[in-house]
Amino acid sequence: MNDKKFSVLAAIALTACMILGLSGWTVESARAVDLDQECSLTVSPGEAEDLQNADVVLDLYQVARAVPVSGYDTYAYEAVAPYGELADALADSQSLTNEKYQELSQQAAEITLTQGNTVAKKIDGASAGEKIEGLEAGLYLVIARGSEVADYVTKAVDETGSEKLATIAWSDEYVYTYLPELISLPGKEAVDGTINTANPGDWLYDASATLKPSQSLRFGSLEIVKTLTSYETSGPADFVFQVEAYKDETKAEVVYSNVVRLSFTGAGSQSTVLADVIPVGAYVEVTEVYSGASYSLVGEATATAVIQAAETAKVSFTNEYNSSGNHGGAVTNRFDYSSESGWGWTQE
């Protein structure tokens, strides 16, 4: 049978519609569901082109088996270990709405990911987009994650402001956040956007779904290293750096701006790290805008770097005492960005 596609949300709504449609569809009708037939599932990681760089893999956990409902062309759920605590919710035909399925997906994910249980994976690390075959009819929890992300379990806030258990994958520039999904096999073709067991047509044992992760910028770090080769002993030596990060080398769009100060009480090297605040891939210019009255730069006043995902970018500056005998101090203006008020500053 050819693959048929239905959305994750529609798949989640499947069983609710099954139960609600019991009264008009009997087992004597054509093309009755065959729960002994193996199913397959193909899950796309999402629609963003960049996702091909995120190496998304899937873990599949069977939450429940499909069991026949006598006299009707549909099925009910029988929870499997360790999901027994969901049995009553799955059996309550009046509560299986879309919202309830979303709640159940969170409960199943809690059991699977956060309670220290060793939950048997039906599928371990299948490449997203790969056809997964040989699946028993039933309800499955789909966990999408980055294959190279060790700590992939996180929390995400949904459109209602509620905190949800989620998982992540990384590309070079973006973080993709996935909510756990429940998918029921087999399904039926949607009619006017609704999946219902009373819909005409055959049961779909070869199913496809497309996930809808949120996409956000991935942030990296910058280290500024200052070396003072000699020191004038009358007081602290302050050095101030202007940090400007742009989306790319065209410098058309500023993505981060800040001012950093380093203070010395002796010769040697110091550094400061701007940790996980600059978008990965950003082109950064760091300029030493204040060197004090007694010190001169050795080399250029501006250094550049590109922010990396896996390592901290670094720029370096060197100063020496210029024997002028002059003295001075520095005040740092700290700049921060807010999506509500834009750029603002505080004096340190």
What is residue 59's predicted lDDT score, i.e. its pLDDT?
Answer: 97
**CA atoms of 152 and 214, how far apart (whole Å):** 15
Please state the φ and ψ torsions of residue 25, each to the nearest 5 degrees: -140, 115
- Confidence grade of residue 305 (pLDDT, cut at 50, 70, 90): very high
Question: Structure pTM?
Answer: 0.75
Would the pLDDT of 348 be above 60? Answer: no
**CA atoms of 335 and 258, how far apart (whole Å):** 5
- Confidence grade of residue 336 (pLDDT, cut at 50, 70, 90): low
What is residue 72's predicted lDDT score, i.e. its pLDDT?
Answer: 84
What is residue 310's predicted lDDT score, i.e. its pLDDT?
Answer: 84
Cα→Cα distances 152→8, 113, 214, Å: 21, 10, 15
Q: What does the pLDDT average to over 264-290?
A: 96
Q: How many CA atoms lie within 13 A of 74 on its CB side?
A: 23
What is residue 6's predicted lDDT score, i.e. its pLDDT?
Answer: 35
Does the domain at residues 219-335 carry the CATH identifier 2.60.40? yes
In order, the DSSP letters of 83-152 are -GGGHHHHH-GGG-SHHHHHHHHHHHHHHHHTS---PPPSEEEEETTPEEEEEPSEEEEEEEEETT-SS-
What is residue 233's predicted lDDT score, i.e. its pLDDT?
Answer: 79
Going by DSSP bridges, is the β-strand pair 219-228/313-321 parallel, antiparallel, or unpaired?
parallel
What is residue 221's predicted lDDT score, i.e. its pLDDT?
Answer: 97
Q: What pLDDT digit, counting tens, does each position of 252-264 carry?
A: 999 999 999 999 9
- Confidence grade of residue 344 (pLDDT, cut at 50, 70, 90): low
Q: What pLDDT digit, counting tens, does each position of 14-53 carry?
A: 333 333 333 233 333 446 899 999 999 999 999 999 999 9
CATH 2.60.40 location in the chain: 219-335
Identify the residue with better confidence: 219 or 117.
Answer: 219
Task: Evaluate whether 162 touches 145 at the Cβ level (below 8 Å).
Answer: no
What is residue 249's predicted lDDT score, i.e. its pLDDT?
Answer: 96
DSSP 13: H
The region of weakest confidence among 86-100, 159-173, 271-285 is 86-100
**CA atoms of 85 and 81, how far apart (whole Å):** 9
Identify the residue with better confidence: 92 or 104.
Answer: 104
Identify the residue with better confidence: 323 or 213.
Answer: 213
Would the pLDDT of 7 be above 90? Answer: no
Going by DSSP bridges, is the β-strand pair 295-297/313-321 parallel, antiparallel, or unpaired?
antiparallel
Sole residue written with tokens 């959305």: 7
What is residue 334's predicted lDDT score, i.e. its pLDDT?
Answer: 52
Would the pLDDT of 119 be above 50? Answer: yes
User: What is the chain's mean pLDDT, rounded?
Assistant: 84
State which of 66-80, 104-118, 248-262 shows the largest mean pLDDT: 248-262
| Helix residue ranges, H only, 188-286 | none
State which of 3-7, 74-78, 249-253 shows the largest mean pLDDT: 249-253
